[in-house]
């Protein structure tokens, strides 16, 4: 057995292993070298321990060499599997096991795949790896629709990657009972963006463009102003429309501005990916 995945239980380390179940699930496999089917259970548990990546610990007890320890557990037949949590037995089964039967037993006491993914995503958010966390959170949103923890973490990633419109939509979906300090902090961050992004210069350009919608220079100037206050989607929309009419608009400045915005957003940004594809379809 791989020592990293399975502990060989004996009288010396018994107390320590049971104590370990206070932190994570411990699975004890009672086996005997003279019974090959019991060794197969050990192999299956080792394989599952690798798949679950540290979610539980396997401890194997050789009942032929550790008869006194086996007697303390009252084991009557082999193979036997016992699950310990918080120092107490919580589940178990006697007789031959399959990988599926063991997995079903473990699933009642271990985090689900979604819970593990959410833990990973929240860890990434805490490390400010927002572009890495977003794809995981978007996947979770499909399997855990309406989950406030997923929505709030996604909204934070969107705010930090300047995808304000989508962040606002998600924050609007948070039910009253989940509008805690975390939620209020994100709403405050969105409000600060709104205040900073609605300058008199921008309002004046918007009014001029509304009165003269065919004026490409006004549109370009507004796109530049939008980009400077992180209103990237609105800026990219304008620039893309200008480039659809003339790829060399403003002596190539529109194309350069759009590419600069996409570069600043980064490769992992969903908004950048969306507009990068549309730009490349025009260029190539």
d(CA 45, CA 60) in angstroms, rounded, equals 10
Q: Number of C-alpha atoms within 13 angstroms, CB side, residue 203?
A: 7
Burial track 37-75 (b if 16+ CB lie within 10 A, e otherwise): ebbebbebbbebbeebeeebbbbbbbbeebeebbeebeb
| Contact (Cβ atoms closer than 8 angstroms) between residue 1 and residue 42 | yes
d(CA 256, CA 120) in angstroms, rounded, equals 37
User: Which pLDDT score is estimated for 5?
Assistant: 64
The number of angstroms, rounded, from the C-alpha of 250 to the middle of its chain's C-alpha atoms is 42
- Joined together, the tokens standing for residue 232 give 């990237």
Burial class (CB in 10 A: 0-12, 13-18, 19+), 20: middle
Burial class (CB in 10 A: 0-12, 13-18, 19+), 168: middle
Mean pLDDT by 10 residues, the chain (284 residues): 69 95 95 95 93 88 94 92 96 94 92 86 94 93 93 95 90 95 93 84 93 95 91 93 92 92 82 91 86
Q: What is the pTM of this model?
A: 0.57
User: Which pLDDT score is estimated for 3?
Assistant: 43
3-state secondary structure 74-143: CCCCCCEEEEEECCEEEEEEECCCCHHHHHHHHHCCCCCHHHHHHHHHHHHHHCCCHHHHHHHHHHHHHH
Q: Let me know how many helices (H) and strands (E) the chain has, helices first.
A: 14, 5
User: Which pLDDT score is estimated for 224?
Assistant: 93
Per-residue pLDDT reduced to its tens digit, 30-41:
999 999 999 999
d(CA 77, CA 41) in angstroms, rounded, equals 14
d(CA 30, CA 78) in angstroms, rounded, equals 7
Per-residue pLDDT reduced to its tens digit, 83-122:
999 999 999 999 999 999 999 999 999 888 788 889 899 9
Question: What domains does the chain contain, in order, with CATH numbers?
Answer: 6-107 (3.40.30.10), 113-196 (1.25.40.10), 200-283 (1.25.40.10)
d(CA 86, CA 20) in angstroms, rounded, equals 8
d(CA 59, CA 17) in angstroms, rounded, equals 8
């Amino acid at each position: 057995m791989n020592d990293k995945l399975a502990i060989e239980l004996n009288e010396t380390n018994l107390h320590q292993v049971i104590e370990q179940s206070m932190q994570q699930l411990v699975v004890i496999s009672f086996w005997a070298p003279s019974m090959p089917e019991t060794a197969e259970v050990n192999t299956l548990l080792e394989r599952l321990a690798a798949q679950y990546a540290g979610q539980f610990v396997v401890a194997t007890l050789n009942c032929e060499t550790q008869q006194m320890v086996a007697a303390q557990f009252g084991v009557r037949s082999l193979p036997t599997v016992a699950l310990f949590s918080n120092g107490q037995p919580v589940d178990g089964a006697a007789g031959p096991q399959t990988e599926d039967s063991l997995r079903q037993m473990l699933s009642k006491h271990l985090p689900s795949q979604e819970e593990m993914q959410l833990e990973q995503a929240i860890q990434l958010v805490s490390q400010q790896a927002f572009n890495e966390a977003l794809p995981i959170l978007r996947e979770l949103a499909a399997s855990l629709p309406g989950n406030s923890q997923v929505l709030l973490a996604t909204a934070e990633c969107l705010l930090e990657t300047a995808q304000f419109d989508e962040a606002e939509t998600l924050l609007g979906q948070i039910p009253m009972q989940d509008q805690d300090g975390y939620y209020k902090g994100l709403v405050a961050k969105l409000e600060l963006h709104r205040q900073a992004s609605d300058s008199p210069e921008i309002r004046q350009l918007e009014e001029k463009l509304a009165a003269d919608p065919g004026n490409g220079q006004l549109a370009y100037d507004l796109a530049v102003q939008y980009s400077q206050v992180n209103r990237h989607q609105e800026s990219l929309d304008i620039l893309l429309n200008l480039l659809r009419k003339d790829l060399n608009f403003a002596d190539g400045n529109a194309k350069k501005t759009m590419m600069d915005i996409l570069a600043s957003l980064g490769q992992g940004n969903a908004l950048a990916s969306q507009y990068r594809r549309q730009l490349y379809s025009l260029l190539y």
